[in-house]
Structure 1
Amino acid sequence: MQKEDVLVLEPAGNTLAPQDSPAILRELTAEAGVSINGDAPWDIQVFDDDVYRLVLTKGSLGFGEAYMDGMWECDRLDQLFQRLLSSQAEEKIDNWSRLRLLGEILRHSLFNLQSSQRAFQVGEQHYDIGNDVFEAMLDPSMSYSCGYWHNASGLADAQQKKLDMICRKLELQPGERLLEIGCGWGGLAHFAAQHYGVEVVGITVSKEQQKLARKRCAGLPVAIELMDYRDLAEKFDKVVSVGMFEHVGPKNYATYFDTVHRALKDDGLFLLHTIGNSVTSPKTDAWIDKYIFPNGKLPSAKEIASVLERRFLIEDWHNFGPDYDRTLMAWWDNFEQAWPGLQEKYGERFYRMWKYYLMSCAGFFRSRQGQLWQLVLSKTERQLVYRSVR
């Protein structure tokens, strides 16, 4: 037995010696059922020994950047991340770089990373990368959120079922005005206007989304505006927000729900569709924050429930988190098939970044750390009885 195989892992500040790094990573991955240079599809194949140092000094950021740079490979990234997240490997790795971890926590604690001055950053960095990527990856409705897979025949059907379920949960009636906070490329706005006869005002922080959503909704009673939710001033019969709350941030939760409260008529309904974290966390994943969703922060059930008190009543709370795993894998299949036509424009590093993004998120939901919630909320003034919809 080699010396590194019996190394006792006792974090002690920043006393980590470079030669200890491979042994530490082998120990941590072994606890998750993952081997370094093993034969299983979820095992990690290391091509550059600097990977060990990057992971132990930069955590998930170093792990992701090393993958983007081709320093390691894995046949089934989704299965790898399911195992790592289920064993809390990231938390254990964080113990080896406490200063970096403290910096991430302080950044989220001391600064409002989702202020109105920063609201458009995620649109510019992520949603504006190119509509061709999203058109290739998503279903025909261009729904960039979790589908509802109960009895669905495929991705497009799962997204149609999700859109219809949202409209039924909101009890939409012809002639009503619906506000959509974070309207994406107009999929829900188009569906609600066409099938439920409502007038829709959708807002987005992405110029590319606004441009395409307006084109897709032409001829329907739909207005797509480029604006931050904090600037809303009108009243609406119903309000919906799908996949946008992840960009709001805990420091702005009160402002967000107060804004919706002002915008919603007393007898109306508000549906919030959001990814949730199974635990309350003081930070966000550093790689996701840098490369995919800058300034994002996943809420926990505790955080949502506490801020809703004295603002809204919870009429319904629906969790179908496992459906996001299937959605992400379907997106990957579409992206992979379309890649030959995108390759010249975006390049190999983007391909590896996008694969890492979709596969790591699939593992996040498969590990059950990731949740997908739809909440139906009402004001205390509403007198009508609400009947839950599935």
Structure 2
Amino acid sequence: MSHSNIRNKIEQLLSSADIKIGGNRPWDIQVHNDDFYSRLLAKGSLGLGESYIDGWWDCDRLDKFFHKILQAKLDTKIKTRTEFFEVLKSKLINLQKPSRAFQIGLQHYDIGNDLYRHMLDKWLIYSCGYWNNASTLDEAQEAKMDMVCRKLDLLQGMRVLDIGCGWGGAAKFAAERYKVEVVGITVSKEQARFGKEFCKGLPVEIYLQDFRSLKGTFDRIFSLGMFEHVGYKNYVTFFRVVKNCLKKDGLFLLQTIGNNRSVTKTDPWINRYIFPKSMIPSAKQICAGIEGLFVLEDWHNFGADYDKTLMHWFWNFHENWDAIKKKYGESFYRMWKYYLLLSAGSFRARDNQLWQIVLSANGVPGIYKSIR
């Protein structure tokens, strides 16, 4: 295909999403390198992201650009050989097996606590906030954590497990506000190190540990934004581990990004640059994983709140960039900006969801009272 034909094809695709090359609207793009078109056609989403990092194109509002791209479902219009082999690999190999469990910690969560302290709220919560009555990021994250504690009906003295505890913010919140004992696990060395200091003086223990090696029993268990790293081949294993660790009258709350369709892989660019071996589950996949193990008590979707959370993360990251740019560099800035605003656009387009799911080991007597 000639260069002009490739460019025309890309222009037509973008036009169907109301995006113009060289246009003057915030979501229009400016192309600086003519090789952009062939790179996009050959490599799809991977080529789109890599060419942005390389400075081949720009857009004033990437969040609006991706909102339009995903609303028009352009992500389904270009298929590449790379994507075919990624699907094949995910079918043949357990990409999230125990020997790979700590890879995500090294590549994403261990890149620098300074980055996350400049981007996140005061609790360092790296999952969706709850904006129902909140006006700031701190308020939204506290509202989310308080809702989690109320959904679990936490009572003083309970023993609680946090699977994927991050920097310890949710464990600290639960211990301080609800007077419970918390055990948190993470696959990130930096998170574990920071979390132990952050929760010092509280009945909180934090371990560097894969979920598959969990032992002990707990009154309540929660997991906020970790399930996306489990992988579809391990869903049943994950839920069995939770069931084995949960008391017979216990409750488990799972917060996860949700997919509108069942897949076995993630976006190629996200997989290479942001979250290696990650995968967003569908409702069907989650329900298949819990079948015969749990009673489904409550399913709450507030995916639109992740758009707002991600925009606040980006604003914090952008406004504080001068403090950390010497360490990370311009290419990192473009990569991280792309990641945050791509993600915001995906929730705005309702291409991704955010679910809080409450499960009981044997069914709550009478009726479970939903909390919002």
**TM-score of the pair, normalised by structure 1:** 0.94
Structure 1 match to 2:58:
73
**Do structure 1's residue 26 and structure 2's residue 11 form an aligned pair?**
yes
CA–CA separation in structure 2 for the residues paired with 1:188 and 1:293: 22
CA-atom RMSD in angstroms? 1.0
Structure 2 match to 1:274:
256
* AA partner of residue 13 (structure 2): L
Structure 2 match to 1:243:
225
Match of 2:316 among 334, 350, 354: 334
- Using the TM superposition, give the Cα deviation of residue 54 of structure 1 relative to its aligned residue in structure 2, in angstroms: 1.1
- Asked if structure 2 preserves the Cα contact closer than 8 Å seen for 1:201 and 1:224, the reply is yes
Q: How does 1:111-260 map to 2 (within 5 A)?
A: 111-260=93-242
**Do structure 1's residue 89 and structure 2's residue 79 form an aligned pair?**
no
Q: How does 1:339-354 map to 2 (within 5 A)?
A: 339-354=321-336
- Asked if structure 2 preserves the Cα contact closer than 8 Å seen for 1:266 and 1:381, the reply is no
Structure 2 match to 1:8:
none
CA–CA separation in structure 2 for the residues paired with 1:19 and 1:41: 25
Secondary structure (helix, strand or coil) at the match of 2:99 reads coil
Match of 1:310 among 260, 282, 292: 292
* AA partner of residue 217 (structure 1): C
- Using the TM superposition, give the Cα deviation of residue 71 of structure 1 relative to its aligned residue in structure 2, in angstroms: 0.5
CA–CA separation in structure 2 for the residues paired with 1:314 and 1:129: 37
Structure 2 stretches of 5 or more lacking a match?
none
**Do structure 1's residue 42 and structure 2's residue 27 form an aligned pair?**
yes
CA–CA separation in structure 2 for the residues paired with 1:192 and 1:224: 14
- Using the TM superposition, give the Cα deviation of residue 296 of structure 1 relative to its aligned residue in structure 2, in angstroms: 0.2
- Asked if structure 1 preserves the Cα contact closer than 8 Å seen for 2:264 and 2:279, the reply is no
- Asked if structure 1 preserves the Cα contact closer than 8 Å seen for 2:83 and 2:268, the reply is no
- Asked if structure 2 preserves the Cα contact closer than 8 Å seen for 1:35 and 1:43, the reply is yes
Q: Deviation per CA, 1:201-242, whole angstroms, max 9, x where unpaired?
A: 000000000011111100000000000000001111100000
CA–CA separation in structure 1 for the residues paired with 2:103 and 2:3: 37
Structure 2 match to 1:5:
none
Secondary structure (helix, strand or coil) at the match of 2:329 reads helix
CA–CA separation in structure 2 for the residues paired with 1:306 and 1:31: 37
CA–CA separation in structure 2 for the residues paired with 1:153 and 1:361: 21
* AA partner of residue 54 (structure 2): D
- Using the TM superposition, give the Cα deviation of residue 20 of structure 1 relative to its aligned residue in structure 2, in angstroms: 2.1
- Asked if structure 2 preserves the Cα contact closer than 8 Å seen for 1:44 and 1:74, the reply is yes
CA–CA separation in structure 1 for the residues paired with 2:138 and 2:222: 21
Q: Deviation per CA, 1:27-78, whole angstroms, max 9, x where unpaired?
A: 1101111011111110111000111111111111111010001010000000
Match of 1:62 among 28, 44, 47: 47
- Using the TM superposition, give the Cα deviation of residue 380 of structure 1 relative to its aligned residue in structure 2, in angstroms: 2.1
Q: Deviation per CA, 1:183-213, whole angstroms, max 9, x where unpaired?
A: 0011100000001010000000000000111
Moved over 3 A (4+): 16-19, 381-385
**TM-score of the pair, normalised by structure 2:** 0.98
- Asked if structure 1 preserves the Cα contact closer than 8 Å seen for 2:295 and 2:363, the reply is no
- Asked if structure 1 preserves the Cα contact closer than 8 Å seen for 2:167 and 2:195, the reply is yes
CA–CA separation in structure 2 for the residues paired with 1:122 and 1:334: 23
- Aligned-pair identity in percent equals 54
**Do structure 1's residue 373 and structure 2's residue 358 form an aligned pair?**
no
- Using the TM superposition, give the Cα deviation of residue 87 of structure 1 relative to its aligned residue in structure 2, in angstroms: 0.8
Secondary structure (helix, strand or coil) at the match of 1:93 reads coil
* AA partner of residue 266 (structure 2): T
- Asked if structure 1 preserves the Cα contact closer than 8 Å seen for 2:314 and 2:337, the reply is yes
Q: Deviation per CA, 1:127-160, whole angstroms, max 9, x where unpaired?
A: 0000000000000011100000001021100000
* AA partner of residue 324 (structure 2): L
Secondary structure (helix, strand or coil) at the match of 1:326 reads helix
CA–CA separation in structure 1 for the residues paired with 2:338 and 2:30: 15
Count, aligned residues: 372
- Asked if structure 2 preserves the Cα contact closer than 8 Å seen for 1:329 and 1:359, the reply is yes
CA–CA separation in structure 2 for the residues paired with 1:68 and 1:222: 40
Pick which of 185-194 and 281-290 moved more. Answer: 281-290
- Using the TM superposition, give the Cα deviation of residue 383 of structure 1 relative to its aligned residue in structure 2, in angstroms: 3.5
CA–CA separation in structure 1 for the residues paired with 2:296 and 2:190: 34
Secondary structure (helix, strand or coil) at the match of 1:143 reads coil
CA–CA separation in structure 2 for the residues paired with 1:226 and 1:384: 38
